[in-house]
Structure 1
Amino acid sequence: MKVIQYLSIFCCFFNTLIYSQHDTNITYGLKFGALHSKISNLPESIKGRDNTFDNSKMETKGLYGLEGGFFLNFKLYDTRVAIQPEILFRQSGETVTYKDRVGKEFELGLNYSYIEIGALYKVYPYKGLNLGFGAFYGVSLSPNNVTYKSNEAGGLYDVATRQFYQDGLDGADDFSMCFSLGYELQQSIHFDLRYYLGVKDVVKSNASSFQFIENQNKTNTISLSLGYSFHQW
């Protein structure tokens, strides 16, 4: 329901731009790419007040994922400036690995997916070369997508432990600032390198799970994508 509401707002925004910018050149198309994301401060949140994690080592590694969706590009008349609204599907997350002195090991993965709605303000200093700045709001699609595997009793307790983390940690909506560097060829092919800086906590700990502590867990994402415009300026 929440996704439908945001999509309705986004469609209204598109219609307003289309009918208000009579002298604006409009392009539209699809983009698809790969990304690498991280979520900050996860070990601190997971350890929390649980003393059984003392004398252990936790490390994190980011998640590789996909990003893709639809864009519109509104080039303002007689300028080298454009506004580019987008609606994207994006994967994001983090993996935490644990080892202690008695040989226990486990790997905990938070694997989130979002519908991203936002826009970029783009400047074209030379031909198709462009620099962009904008913001995106991510509507969470998989707040409880948690994976867990361990070497404890041959993985006998992995299902129950995974459910414990699913009940204790909830993925929340994301909000991020976006910085982009791209190039648009005359043949409608686009190359785009982006950095998304999360400014919102995306992992919420439930009150019933006393061992977790609430922390600022923010996303950081680098993406490289290829786009195609169905209509040229």
Structure 2
Amino acid sequence: MKNFFLLLLALLPVAWLGAQPESDVWFYGFKAGVNRHQIQDVSTTIIPEVFPTETYTTEMVPALGFTGGVTLYHRFYDSRFAVQPEILFSSRSSDFNYTDIRDLEYSIRFGYQYVSLGGVIKLYPAAGINFGVGAQAAFNVATDQLKYTSNMPELGPDLQIQQSLREVLIGSNDINLLFQAGYDFNFGLMLEARYILGLSDVLETRANGFNFIENSNRSSGFQITLGWLIEFP
């Protein structure tokens, strides 16, 4: 992320050469890239309060995922503002890792996938350099994508535990706020870095025998994409 903003600064001297799509013209385009997401407070959901915290350790590790889709773009006439609606597919994965004093280690990978509808409003302070804010509704299309592995399958076959977890921990839809910095080149290329803030509980906890509790598990992450804009004929 730091390198991305250094790139923006390096491109600033050429920004005045008109490095943005023409005003008052509609474009369509495609974009693809990577994201890095994590789900918050999973340990509170999974581990009952009766277990002393000094007897175990946990960590939530974000994983890289793919994002891509289609976009529209319109720069308002004689204005520094543009609108950019989008439909994106995103795989948002993260790993919950657990270790305790009995040498039990297990990992739960939440590999949920989303189709998102939304967009951003972009402000151009200097030609192709832009900052954006927006929102999107993210619909979970793989609500049971959960994988469980452990170092002690004798306590219970991993596949059996995995199936039980899939019936208890269900991926939910999400609402996101979007904060973006980017650069638009005059030949149609878009470079964008985005912070995605989740506002909804993305993990539904159903009635279970694991002593899991319902909790507010929001998600957040970063996304970097390259896009290509094409003027409507």
Q: Are the equivalent residues in 2 in contact too, given 1:47–1:212 (CA < 8 A)?
A: yes
The 1:86/1:153 distance shift into structure 2, 3 A limit, reads: closer
Secondary structure (helix, strand or coil) at the match of 1:147 reads strand
Matched, 1:175 2:182: no
Q: Distance in 1 between matches of 2:27 and 2:155?
A: 52
AA matched with 2:222: I
Q: Return the offset for 1:183.
A: 0.3
- Map 1:77-96 to 2 at 5 A: 77-96=77-96
Q: Distance in 1 between matches of 2:37 and 2:177?
A: 14
- Map 1:217-228 to 2 at 5 A: 217-228=217-228
Match of 1:58 in 2: 58
Q: Return the offset for 1:155.
A: 8.7
Match of 1:128 in 2: 128
Q: Distance in 2 between matches of 1:49 and 1:207?
A: 17
Match of 1:192 in 2: 192
The 1:168/1:154 distance shift into structure 2, 3 A limit, reads: same
Q: Are the equivalent residues in 1 in contact too, given 2:25–2:231 (CA < 8 A)?
A: no
- Map 1:150-169 to 2 at 5 A: 150-153=150-153, 157-169=157-169
Secondary structure (helix, strand or coil) at the match of 2:231 reads coil
How much identity, in percent, do the aligned residues show? 29
Q: Distance in 2 between matches of 1:171 and 1:222?
A: 19
Instruction: Provide structure 1 residue ranges, at least 5 long, that are not aligned to the other structure.
Output: 1-22
Q: Distance in 2 between matches of 1:159 and 1:123?
A: 50
AA matched with 1:166: R
Q: Return the offset for 1:154.
A: 6.5
Deviations 1:13-44 (A, max 9, x none): xxxxxxxxxx9321110000011111110111
Structure 1 runs (4+) deviating above 4 angstroms are: 49-54
Q: Distance in 2 between matches of 1:134 and 1:215?
A: 26
RMSD: 2.0
Q: Distance in 2 between matches of 1:122 and 1:197?
A: 18
Q: Distance in 1 between matches of 2:111 and 2:72?
A: 28
Q: Return the offset for 1:50.
A: 6.9
Instruction: Provide structure 2 residue ranges, at least 5 long, that are not aligned to the other structure.
Output: 1-22
Alignment TM-score, normalising by the size of structure 1: 0.85
Deviations 1:120-154 (A, max 9, x none): 01111111111100001001101110001111146
AA matched with 1:129: I
Q: Return the offset for 1:93.
A: 3.0
Aligned length, in residue pairs: 210
Match of 1:20 in 2: none
Q: Distance in 2 between matches of 1:163 and 1:198?
A: 27
Q: Are the equivalent residues in 2 in contact too, given 1:30–1:70 (CA < 8 A)?
A: yes
The 1:77/1:213 distance shift into structure 2, 3 A limit, reads: same
